[in-house]
């Protein structure tokens, strides 16, 4: 099957590309390398360096004729969305609309859209959060990610475009970029392995739902063939910042004491996602516990972040 993966040089997208190619699919990747890395791109994929908001994206669709689009590309830094909401909207809303319209124009069968289960709901009324929870984003990033869900609904049935929205939790694993604040595991691991001081924003009691990238890739594959609409992809388990720090410190042998700084604007206090709908309709559930996933990820961090011996 012909596949197009936007953001395929990034953390999650590159893992999806690898899995697709391993299963024999023909894959094209669109990525502007703003946060992705060319070395992440599978050499058997055809790579186009461009933003999804670029008018030339139509040429990629015409050339590749994808049957399914995995739309992983996005501006994902919450603090940048707060500081520059126009840029955030251009990348996440206008860029996604460009993907949707070209998908309709060139006969794409289905779009898999990576949304955010941490950002679109806002501060939860109850936990774990289900898909019908009130939508009250607390950041511009959350607004932009949710807006695209409306566009998919708008263009879906009337234009015969099938789609699945996957609302991700905090995804972690190999290739995670420590430059974005969503990459808590990568950020902590890099600083610990380098023996650097580490900062926790808030009092350490802020919680997130951490899900391994391998589990997220499986959700994407299941969504290619079944399901329609919106699904949470998470573990349903809350992990505090302090718990994450303590677990990684033990695994990596870090002896430092974290500093604590004021919580950042746009960040929610608690979140975890109810995945019962995905389990029922997609046949998906997480397979790795947090500690199992972190142990599997540690060797990648050791190779990438440990300073060379002199």
Residue 152's pLDDT is 97
Residue entry with tokens 């972040």:
305
Burial class (CB in 10 A: 0-12, 13-18, 19+), 125: exposed
| Residues carrying an active site annotation | 141
So what's the pLDDT on residue 180? 62
Report pLDDT for 118: 85
Can you give the pLDDT at residue 15? 98
Sequence spans of domains, the chain: 2-171+210-232, 173-208+237-271+288-305
10-residue stretch averages of pLDDT, the chain, 310 residues long: 97 98 98 94 98 98 98 90 92 97 97 95 96 94 96 92 97 88 85 95 96 98 95 97 97 96 90 98 97 92 72
Residue closest to 45 by CA, chosen among 106, 73, 4: 4
The reported pLDDT for the residue numbered 30 is 98
Cα 211 to Cα 29, 72, 202: the distances in Å are 24, 16, 22
Q: What is the CATH code for 2-171+210-232?
A: 3.40.50.720
CA–CA gap between residue 125 and residue 134 (Å, rounded): 8
- pTM for the predicted model, two decimal places: 0.95
**pLDDT for the residue 89:** 95
Q: Which fold has domain 173-208+237-271+288-305?
A: UDP-galactose 4-epimerase; domain 1 (3.90.25)
Please give the Cα distance from 240 to 260 (Å, whole number): 14
């Amino acid at each position: 099957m012909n596949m197009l993966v936007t953001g395929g040089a990034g953390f999650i997208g590159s893992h999806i590309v690898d899995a697709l190619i391993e299963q024999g699919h023909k894959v094209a990747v669109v990525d502007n390398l703003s946060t992705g890395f060319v070395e992440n791109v599978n050499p058997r994929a055809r790579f186009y360096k461009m933003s999804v908001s670029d008018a030339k994206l139509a040429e990629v669709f015409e050339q590749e004729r994808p049957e399914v689009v995995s739309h992983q590309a996005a501006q994902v830094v919450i603090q940048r969305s707060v500081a520059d909401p126009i840029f955030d909207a251009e990348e996440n809303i206008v860029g996604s609309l460009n993907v949707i319209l070209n998908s309709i124009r060139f006969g794409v069968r289905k779009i898999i859209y990576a949304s955010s289960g941490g950002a679109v709901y806002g501060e939860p009324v109850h936990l774990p959060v289900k898909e019908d929870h009130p939508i009250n984003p607390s950041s511009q990033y959350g607004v932009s990610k949710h807006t695209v869900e409306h566009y998919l609904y708008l263009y879906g049935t009337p234009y015969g475009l099938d789609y699945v929205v996957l609302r991700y939790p905090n995804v972690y694993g190999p290739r995670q970029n420590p430059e974005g604040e969503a990459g808590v595991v990568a950020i902590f691991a890099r600083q610990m392995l380098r023996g650097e001081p580490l900062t926790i924003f808030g009092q350490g009691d802020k919680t997130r739902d951490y899900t391994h990238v391998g589990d997220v890739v499986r959700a994407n594959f299941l969504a290619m063939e079944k399901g329609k609409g919106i699904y949470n992809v998470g573990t349903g388990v809350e992990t505090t910042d302090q718990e994450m720090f303590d677990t990684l410190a033990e695994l990596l042998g870090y002896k430092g004491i974290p500093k604590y700084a004021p919580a950042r604007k746009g960040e929610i206090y608690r979140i975890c996602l109810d995945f019962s709908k995905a389990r029922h309709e997609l046949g998906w559930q997480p397979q790795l516990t947090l500690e199992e996933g972190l142990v599997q990820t540690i060797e990648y961090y050791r190779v990438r972040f440990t300073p060379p011996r002199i």
